[in-house]
Each structure stands twice: as C-alpha cells, then as structure tokens.
Amino acid sequence: MQTRSVAIADGVITKGPLPEVNLRGYLILPGIIDLAAQPLRLGMSKPEAALRGLDRAAARHGVTTLWSAQDWSWAGGNAAPRVAMQVARAMAAQRGRTGTDLRMRMLCDVHMIDTLEQVLETVRAERVDQVIFKDGLNSLLAQSELRQEEICRQAALNGTSPGAHLEALRALAKRHRDVPRFLCQLAEAFDRRGVIYGSLGDPDGETREMYSMIGAKLCLKPKVRAAAALARAVGDPVVLAARDVAGKPAGSIGLCAMSAIKAGQCTALASDGGFEALGQAAFAVADRGGLGLPEAWNLVSRNPAEIMRLPDRGVIDYGRRADLVVVDAATRRVEATIAAGRLTYLTGEAENRFRGAPAALEHAAE
C-alpha cells in the first residue's frame, strides 16, 4: 500500500498533474473482477433492462468486469441452448453500453453431445470467452428417487411427462462414450479461438487431471482438497466461492476456502452469489488468512485478470485501464467505483468530495 495520487485520463491510468479529488481516509484499490457471477435471469422480453440492473448491482460493490453464468443444458427452461443464445446475443449487443464490462460464462453440460456446432457458433458469433464444463446428469440419475420434484419441473419445462423425461435422460447417459470426443472437439476449437475453459465441481483428483489433460485448465469450485491440490501442482488456476471464505462451505462444496487459501490452493475468488461477498472476502483473508491486503485483493483483481488473459486491468499501473474501487478505510464500505475512467457508482462522503471538485468529476466521468 502506498500514499500517493492516482491520475486518470482517457479511461486509463496516467501521470498528473490533473484536477484532483481529496480521498484521504479511503483505500483506492483495483476494480474487482468476478469470474463466476450467478446466472442472469433476463426474462428475455426486456434483456436490456435486466443487463442495466446487473450493471448497477455490480458497480455498487466495486465490480468492474464480470462473467455471468448461463447454463447450456438438457434441463430446459432458462438452461436451454436457445435461451443461452438469446443471453449471449443480448450481452454482445450491450457491449460498450454498460459501465461494467459484462460478459457471459457458458456452463456447458458434458452430455450436450448433439449441440457441438451450436456451441461453437454461439462462442464464435457472440465472442464468448469463458466456457465451463459440468456434469449434472449422472448425479441427478443416481438420486432420481429422491429428486422427483426436480425431474417433474424439468419435464414441464421441456413439455413432456416426468417418465418420458427420465427415459430421455437415461438414454443420454448411455452415450457416455461419446463425451470424451465431444469435449476434445470443443477443446481444440476453444484453443484456436483463445477461449478460457475449465470444469465445475471436480469431485476428485482424477477428474481434474482428465480435464487438465484436454486443456480445461480452470478449476472452478472443486469439491475436495485433492482436486484443488492437483490443479495447483500442474499449474492450473483454482477459483473458489467468496461466500465460503468466512465460514462453512455452502451446498455440496466440501473444500473450505480459507484453509485452501492458507495452503496456497486458491488462485482467485468469485462471487457465485451476492457481489458484496467479493470485497468482504478479500478483507477477511487480509485479517485472518495470513496475507497482506494487496495479496488478498489480488484474489479478486490481478489474479482473475491473469486467468482471463486481460493484461489491461487488475492492477493500478500506468497505461492500465482505469478500473478502481474507492473504499472507506474505516468502514470498508464501497463508496465509489470507476470503470474505464468513468464513475459507475458514487455515494456517501466520497460523493461529497467528488461533487466538491467539479472539474475533477467531469474529467473522471469522461
């Protein structure tokens, strides 16, 4: 941490002198980069309004770049490929119109074998740059007696009966020998396009090793320590949920985020829920995780930028994109967010200070 000025011009960090805003008493930190935000429910009649809402919610908590999850699955409803294509188109159409850099993360089920060309066309046409593989079919079938309500819900979404839907899923599961070829074909195409891809919820080290071998390096929310340990041993990044840092892992995630961070088995944190968890988690790591604040904040800024190969953001340095979050040092409350040199959120005493310096505010807003 340094006590010094940060100058912004034309959307990037530069050198002064320039009109100034006195932010003593605040921490000026790199903008937060969220690799795995929760799915966006567009309600597709007004996608622009939903995206504006997502933009505002992210900015309120210091997020300047995010990937919103979108399923590509046999489950139907909002997880259907047709919806994913609509979401991808809506996000592409809004690119550059929102303060926050909004992107789509495709959660592709490994059994969507017959949609290979659709996946590749969506990734190409809408410039999707993150794809995560997941396997939800086998766990659903293994617990089909206990998860009748979920099967009935999916059947209704797909316009069929629960029995017919279950039989269709069982037939899909029997094609497990086609899954490796499907994944390898996607991996080859993704490598050509520079897409970052990985897997969600690896249940063991062997599964993580398989994904790593085909190039799916990003290890997102592994369920056990062995999977995270193997990922780090071979140089693959591990992304854990920020909400799990403060305590017991949520849901089926069996890996404690704080202990993984202390063991060097976590590369980055993602919201996977409320955006407020990201900044809170970074401060919690600085308080109790054995890291200084700059290193802890890297988990939500520099490291995600490096994972996604975005050299223009994630740190405060000359020539980098001016993505900054202004945090009250005493309360740790986000009071201003600046994305690409523009104020996207402003409140509290920080707002008074910006508004007390009109020339500086005008410059930052441009």
For β-strands 342-346 and 334-339, DSSP reports them as: antiparallel
Residues of the domain holding 328: 1-31+317-366
- CA–CA separation, 162 vs 168, rounded Å? 10
First to last CA, the chain: 27
Give the residue ranges of the chain where pLDDT is below 50. 249-253, 361-366
Question: What token pair was written down for 60?
Answer: 């309120």
- CA–CA separation, 105 vs 207, rounded Å? 21
pLDDT in tens, 33-50: 999 998 776 555 567 788
Mark whether 161 and 301 lie in a shared domain: yes
For β-strands 218-220 and 324-328, DSSP reports them as: unpaired
pLDDT in tens, 330-366: 999 999 999 999 999 999 999 999 988 755 544 444 3
pLDDT in tens, 170-207: 888 888 999 999 999 999 999 999 999 999 999 999 99
For β-strands 334-339 and 101-109, DSSP reports them as: unpaired
Mark whether 51 and 132 lie in a shared domain: yes
Say what the alpha-carbon torsion angle 197, 232, 258, 288 is, to the nearest 10 degrees: -120
The CATH number linked to 95 is: 3.20.20.140
Instruction: Say how many domains are in the chain.
Output: 2
Mark whether 136 and 268 lie in a shared domain: yes
b/e per residue 226-257 (b: at least 16 CB within 10 A): bbbbbbbeeebbbbbbbbbbeeebeeebebbb
